[in-house]
């Protein structure tokens, strides 16, 4: 009985895919880098070039084995070492060359870089309340920079492609919000990404959708009548 049920499910899925036609979507898998010592210590990293710690390396290796099964077409990474070290195992498994884009860097934290949240709140209470690091980037600036990079990557892909974009928590979250067309006052409704987790955006007919968020396993296709 179990085999018959599985066979029926496979036939149903094949029929669904035939009706839907070929997949012409452009997909961006937004992958945050693995853990660093500053993540563990709760320090603001920004664009300070902090490497992965041992756990982060293991996270990247595990995630790469999962993501390689999706058969990505390209891999693009921030040029900071924690992002490139996260992308490297996936490049080895897929045989793809990892290219870099400095516009995928994390938010520049200015005077906050290297400080803990307690230190930031104590030394910069006004700026902390506004989340505006002295000498650093505003939320709008990061969203525009990272969002434009994601759009540029998408424009260079043929229909049906999947690009893995390896970057940083704020850059990916704010870039995704900008790409989805959310007004800036609603960017906060997209929650943060855990270390080495990912989100998936898909574009069809010039419209972007958030398909997966903060995933740590393979994204599953959504079989539904919902459009």
Residues serving a catalytic function are 33, 106
Helices (H), 139-218: 139-155, 169-179
- Rounded-to-integer distance, Cα 227 and Cα 216, Å: 25
**Sole residue written with tokens 């958030």:** 210
Contacts of 152 (CB under 8 A, 6+ apart): none
**92 token code pair:** 């080895």
**Sole residue written with tokens 């104590």:** 122
**173 token code pair:** 């979250």
DSSP 24: -
Beta bridge partners of 212: 200
Pairing of strands 98-100, 162-167: unpaired
**57 token code pair:** 């390396």
Pairing of strands 198-204, 74-77: unpaired
**Sole residue written with tokens 């990557």:** 153
Alpha carbons within 13 A on the beta-carbon side of 165 = 34
């Amino acid at each position: 009985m179990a085999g018959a049920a599985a066979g029926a499910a496979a036939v149903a899925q094949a029929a669904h895919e035939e009706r839907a036609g070929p997949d012409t979507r452009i997909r961006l898998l937004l992958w945050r880098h693995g853990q660093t010592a500053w993540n563990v210590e709760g320090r603001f990293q920004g664009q300070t070039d902090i490497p992965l710690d041992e756990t982060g390396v293991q996270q990247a290796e595990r995630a790469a084995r999962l993501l390689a099964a999706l058969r990505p077409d390209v891999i693009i990474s921030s040029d900071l070492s924690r992002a490139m070290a996260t992308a490297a195992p996936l490049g080895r498994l897929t045989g793809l060359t990892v290219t870099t884009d400095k516009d995928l860097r994390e938010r520049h934290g200015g005077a906050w870089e290297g400080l803990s949240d307690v230190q930031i709140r104590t030394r910069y209470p006004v700026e902390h309340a506004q989340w505006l690091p002295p000498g650093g980037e505003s939320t709008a600036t990061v969203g525009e920079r990272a969002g434009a990079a994601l759009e540029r990557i998408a424009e260079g892909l043929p229909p049906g492609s999947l690009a893995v974009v390896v970057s940083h928590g704020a850059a990916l979250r704010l870039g995704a919000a900008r790409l989805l067309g959310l007004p800036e006052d609603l960017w906060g409704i997209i929650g943060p990404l855990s270390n080495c987790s990912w989100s998936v955006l898909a574009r069809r007919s010039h419209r972007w959708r958030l398909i997966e968020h903060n995933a740590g396993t393979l994204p599953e296709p959504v079989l539904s009548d919902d459009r």
